[in-house]
Amino acid sequence: MDTKDDATTAWIRRYHPSGDSTARLICFPHAGGSASFFHPVSVRFSPDTDVIALQYPGRQDRRREPCIEDIGTLADQLAEEIQALSDKPTVFFGHSMGAVLAFETAFRLEQRGLNSPHTVLASGRRAPSTVRDEQVHTRDDRGIISELKLLNGTDSAVFGNDELLSLALPAIRGDYRAIETYAGEPGRRVRCPLTVLTGDNDPRTTLDEAHAWQEHTEGAFRVEVFSGGHFFLADHQDEVNKVIAEALDAARAARTAASP
């Protein structure tokens, strides 16, 4: 079943739907994150761009649904949702766990020849070919909260609100289990260009681990380094938006060039 250009579904959130958009930006949230994280991105790029923020099960209005605790299974489902969209020049943007999901989803869509992105923007995540023994998902609640504070990716008001924490922690734990048990398929590459965005003080991604993404594309590759930690994009919104805008412009130009 096709998903209309102005439709919002359980998986697909459009905060500023527009039938006149000439390109599409699909945003993949981080572990424990939700579609609303990308509301400012939608404000910036709509209505010329169809900005879609993905909503995984287990959070916000989907909190009663079980989390999908396997990256491959979640990427399979996301690919099904995205291939039902109309055909437009598309860019994927994923942060942290979302970077891996953007990559795996792009790979699946390229294999099917349906709605694959012109470019993948992988933010705040080491390359799939790099390996770390990370076990945050096995910690108790206090241990998970310590990790969130280290990465500085959660509103500080949440930490003082037991009710909000109790609602958020199951999804956070489930997402950490998914990303920490993920093992990238050896030699897996996408054909499209790949741009990596990383913080120069990210405790979870070194510069070498960011550059290792080059092994995962047959297209153009570059790394953009920003000052800051894991959530560097909070302090560099304008610069990150510039990278996104360049990718969208390139996607539009490529479609125009390919038209008869």
Can you tell me whether residue 232 is helix, strand or coil? helix
Q: 96 catalytic, yes or no? A: yes
Task: Estimate the share of the chain in helix, then strand, then coil, as percent rounded to the nearest 5.
Answer: 45, 15, 40
**Where in the chain does DSSP place strands (E)?**
12-13, 23-28, 49-54, 90-95, 119-123, 194-199, 221-226
Catalytic residue among 96, 116, 146, 227: 96
Q: What number of other Cβ atoms are within 10 A of residue 218's Cβ?
A: 12
User: Any residues with CB less than 8 A from the CB of 245 and at least 6 apart, and which?
Assistant: 45
The whole-angstrom separation of Cα 11 and Cα 82 is: 10
Q: What number of other Cβ atoms are within 10 A of residue 47's Cβ?
A: 14
| Structural element, H or E, at residue 210 | helix 207-211
Q: For residue 92, list its beta bridge partners.
A: 26, 120
The whole-angstrom separation of Cα 145 and Cα 75 is: 26
Do residues 210 and 96 lie in contact, with contact meaning Cβ atoms separated by under 8 Å? no
Q: Which two tokens stand for residue 19?
A: 């039938």
Catalytic positions, written as ranges? 96
